C-alpha cells in the first residue's frame, strides 16, 4: 500500500462512497456467510455448533484474503496504472465514511420532516436494535451511537489495516466485521455458532477502537468542542458497554457533546438496560447528530493523514 493509493482510496470514498449499482464486497461476503452457515447448521448438532462457528469463520476469512490478494496481483501484472486504480478502488470499498453519513442522514431528514415512521425505518437499516416504538430522543441517541461506533469499525479500523497489510488485510478485516454483524449475537440462535466470530472481531478491533478514541479527542479540540470531557468520559465510561471496544468511541463522542448514551434498549423484543455512557448535561437534539458527523469527517481526515505520513516515512 503506497501513500498515493491510500489517499486515492480515501478521496474516492469521500466523493463517491458505495455505488448503489455495484455489488459491494461486503454484500458478497454476507451471501457467502449465509450459505456456509446453512450448510454447517444442516450437518452439526447444537452441541457442536461452536466448532461449526470456527469452521464458518475460516471458510469466510481465508478465501477473502486470498481472493483479494489474487485480484491485486493480477491487476498489477496488467500494468502499474491498472494495479494502482484497481487497488485504490478496492481499498475505497473497505471504507464507509460517506455511506455512514448518507445512511444516518436519511434518518435525520425524516425527523426534520416530522415523518417518524420513515425515521424508524431508516434507522432499522443501520442498527440492530428494535426501532418500531422509538421516540425522537431515542432515535437521535441511536444515530449518535451507531455513527460513533462505526467511526471505529467502518473508517479507522479499515484504514489501520490498509496501512498495516494493504487491501487484502483490510478486506479480511471487513469479512471479520461482517461475520460479527451477522452471527455475533448473544441470543439462543447465535450464542454458539457466532461465539468465535464475535471474539475475533473483538480482538481485531481492540487497537483501532482505542486509536479512534484518541482521534475523537483531538478532533473535538480542533472543532472547539469539549475535548476535556471527551477525554474524561472516554476514560471513565469507555468500558460501560457489552463490547470491549464500542464503548471507547461512543464515550469520547458523548463527552465532546455533553450527552448521555446507552440506557434502555430493545433487541429482538427483549428490553435490555445498558450501562449509561456520558453525563446528561443537555437534552440530545438534531444539532448533536450534526456535530457527530463533523467529528466523524474530521476524525477520518486525521486518520487518513496519520496513515499517509506513516506509509510515506516507511517507504522512503
pLDDT value at position 184? Answer: 86
The answer to whether 212 and 248 have CB atoms below 8 angstroms apart is: yes
Q: What is the DSSP string of 13-75?
A: HHHT-S-TTS--HHHHHHHHHHHHHHHHHHT--GGGHHHHHHHHHHHHHHHHHHHHHHHHHHH
pTM of the model: 0.94
Q: What is the DSSP string of 264-314?
A: EEEETTEEEEEEEES--SS---HHHHHHHHHHHHHHHHHHHHHHHHHHHHH
pLDDT value at position 190? Answer: 85
Closest alpha carbon to 198 in 55, 64, 54 = 54
| pLDDT tier for residue 47 given thresholds of 50, 70 and 90 | confident
Percent of the chain with pLDDT over 70: 99
Q: 10 Å Cβ neighbour count for 48? A: 14
**Is residue 19 over pLDDT 90?**
no
- Residue 60, C-beta contacts closer than 8 angstroms, at least 6 positions apart: 29, 32, 33, 36, 175, 178, 179
pLDDT value at position 21? Answer: 67
The answer to whether 61 and 50 have CB atoms below 8 angstroms apart is: no
CA 237 – CA 107 distance, rounded (Å): 27
What confidence tens digit (pLDDT) does each residue in 226-275 have? 999 999 999 999 999 989 999 999 999 999 999 999 988 877 667 778 89
Q: Report CA torsion sign: 183, 186, 187, 191.
A: positive
Length of the chain, please? 316
What confidence tens digit (pLDDT) does each residue in 272-315 have? 788 999 999 999 999 999 999 999 999 999 999 999 999 999 98
CA-CA distances (angstroms) from residue 117 to 106, 108, 145? Answer: 12, 12, 20
Amino acid at each position: 500500500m503506497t501513500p498515493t493509493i491510500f489517499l486515492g482510496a480515501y478521496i474516492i470514498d469521500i466523493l463517491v462512497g458505495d455505488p448503489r449499482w455495484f455489488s459491494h464486497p461486503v454484500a458478497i461476503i454476507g451471501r457467502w456467510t449465509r450459505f456456509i452457515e446453512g450448510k454447517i447448521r444442516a450437518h452439526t448438532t447444537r452441541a457442536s455448533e461452536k466448532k461449526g462457528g470456527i469452521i464458518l469463520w475460516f471458510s469466510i476469512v481465508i478465501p477473502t484474503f486470498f481472493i483479494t490478494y489474487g485480484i491485486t496481483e493480477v491487476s498489477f501484472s496488467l500494468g502499474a496504472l491498472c494495479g494502482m486504480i484497481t487497488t485504490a478502488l478496492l481499498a475505497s470499498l473497505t471504507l464507509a465514511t460517506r455511506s455512514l453519513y448518507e445512511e444516518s442522514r436519511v434518518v435525520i431528514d425524516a425527523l426534520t420532516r416530522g415523518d417518524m415512521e420513515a425515521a424508524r425505518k431508516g434507522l432499522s437499516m443501520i442498527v440492530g436494535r428494535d426501532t418500531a416504538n422509538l421516540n425522537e430522543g431515542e432515535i437521535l441517541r441511536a444515530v449518535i451511537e451507531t455513527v460513533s461506533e462505526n467511526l471505529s469499525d467502518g473508517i479507522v479500523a479499515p484504514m489501520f489495516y490498509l496501512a498495516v497489510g494493504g487491501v487484502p488485510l483490510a478486506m479480511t478485516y471487513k469479512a471479520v466485521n461482517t461475520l460479527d454483524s451477522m452471527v455475533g449475537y448473544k441470543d439462543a440462535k447465535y450464542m454458539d455458532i457466532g461465539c468465535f466470530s464475535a471474539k475475533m472481531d473483538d480482538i481485531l478491533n481492540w487497537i483501532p477502537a482505542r486509536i479512534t478514541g484518541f482521534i475523537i479527542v483531538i478532533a473535538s479540540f480542533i472543532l472547539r468542542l469539549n475535548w476535556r470531557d471527551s477525554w474524561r468520559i472516554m476514560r471513565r465510561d469507555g468500558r460501560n458497554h457489552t463490547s470491549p471496544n464500542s464503548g471507547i468511541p461512543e464515550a469520547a463522542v458523548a463527552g465532546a457533546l455533553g450527552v448521555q448514551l446507552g440506557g434502555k434498549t430493545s433487541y429482538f423484543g427483549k428490553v435490555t438496560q445498558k450501562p449509561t455512557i456520558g453525563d446528561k448535561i443537555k437534552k440530545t437534539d438534531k444539532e448533536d447528530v450534526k456535530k457527530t458527523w463533523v467529528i466523524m469527517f474530521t476524525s477520518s481526515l486525521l486518520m487518513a493523514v496519520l496513515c499517509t505520513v506513516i506509509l510515506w516515512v516507511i517507504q522512503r
